[in-house]
Amino acid sequence: MRRIARDGGYFVRRWLANTLRGVCMGAADVIPGVSGGTIALILGIYPRLIDAVGGLGMGLLRRFRSRPFWRLLAAGARDPERLRDDGAGEDAGRVLFLAFLAAGILPAIVAWARILPPLLSLYPAQMRGLFLGLVLASVTVPLRAMRSGGPSRWLLGLGAALATAWFVGLPEPASRRATGSVLLEFAEPTAAEVRLTPQNLTLRAPGDASRPELIFGPIAPTTVPTGSAGIEVAVIASMAGDAGNVPAGSIRDVGGPVAGLRVSQPGALAGGADPLLPYLLLGGVLAISAMALPGISGAFVLLLLGLYHYVLYTLSVAIYHQNPGAILTVGALIAAMAAGLLTFVRVLKRMFARWHDGTLAVLVGLMLGSLRKLWPFTRYSEEGREVPVLPSLGDPEVVAVALVFLAGVGAVALLGAAGRRRSR
């Protein structure tokens, strides 16, 4: 009985420790800026993680058909000293380690899939400010890991930065976001001019059993003349995809700078289109590959490719609304990610072994060049494309963005300090 109690207590402690590590990694993987690889590096499990994932393959799949291997797994879960020092014992250790991590990673991703989409839609500038701080501060992670500098390293980083800045500056197709118009009515004629902007006007289409709430905003700033009782405003969905194509009357709630504001939607919104499946699967492969790197987030790669909002929304619809189409899409994305992870980790091990500093220099350039995509203040052109703008002086939103930017920088700085203390 004493042996059973000892083994059970050890199992619980081991399960909790690795599961909590997985929770931290899962939360980091969903938020652009801090990667799960960075968290693994800080927690001291990065080499073991790369070894465990790199050890997965057909040989391990064949072992799963063996009953002795399952008994070895059960024994190793209670006490790792029971794992034999051979191929089967090493594979069992890898499986148990990844299983404990997955027990924390998956619930964290599920939870954040419900929390982040409304935040991204309601507070786009503030969330971009947070991501900007996270990514900018995370550049120090690959920089510190470089063993030596030199002109070739900086040229590699500069080339990667320029290429990335050009790529993220390419205009997104206008057809990916649904557009249309709504009528706004004021409780009484306006006593002065009113400025309606994407930052101060929020339009909502309430959710139902098949989908969550959708957020819309004005395509461009609009000035309401003095004495107006109402105005027609061109609007655009906050998220790209077919979900924004809502029928007339769907938008029923409005929040704006004027009290007593009412909204009506006489016509349907149209023009939104989901990304092509091959492009989505490619994005999944690139994102999961980035998650294995310290310093760059898989969610950040999805953001660069214009897929971040869509993937989060589809994941939320699949989990919380059991939509069959969303479930199939998420299943295909998971399969692509699994294939990408098993392939890329092997490539990653070789790249770090042969071109350690060159690989890190390219990562630094990629992160610096991508900051263009994360500029918080934007507006939409008449074609529905997002255009960066300078904020107005005295705009209270600038203060909020600056605060969350500093919070992002501070979070990465604290994580980095914790990692260095752990290393020492």
Stated pTM of the model: 0.73
Tally of CA atoms within 13 A in the half-sphere of 92 that contains its CB: 24
Query: Does 173 score more than 60 pLDDT?
Result: no
Calpha distance 419→412 (Å, rounded): 10
The position carrying tokens 């990408």 is 340
Q: Among 8, 21, 125, 11, which Cα is nearest to 77's?
A: 11
Is 203 within 8 Å of 254 (Cβ atoms)?
A: yes
Is 182 within 8 Å of 250 (Cβ atoms)?
A: no
Q: Among 63, 115, 123, which Cα is nearest to 93's?
A: 63
Give the contacts of 13 (CB within 8 A, at least 6 positions apart): none
Within 190-323, residue ranges assigned H as helices are 277-291, 298-304, 308-320
Q: For residue 13, what pLDDT band results from cuts at 50, 70 and 90?
A: low
- Condensed to tens digits (0 to 9), the pLDDT of residues 351-370 reads 777 787 887 888 788 778 87
Query: Does 130 score more than 90 pLDDT?
Result: no
Question: How does DSSP assign 317-352, residue by residue?
Answer: HHHHS--HHHHHHHHHHHHHHHHHHHHHHHHHHHHH
- Centre a 10 Å sphere on the Cβ of residue 183 and count the other Cβ atoms it contains: 13
Bridge partners of residue 218, in order along the sequence: 235
Calpha distance 311→313 (Å, rounded): 5
β-strand 179-185 against 230-237: which pairing, if any? antiparallel
Tokens linked to 8: 């059970």
Tokens linked to 16: 């909790």
The residue extents of the domains of the chain are 1-173+275-424, 179-264
> Of the spans 195-209, 241-255, 305-319, which averages the highest pLDDT?
241-255
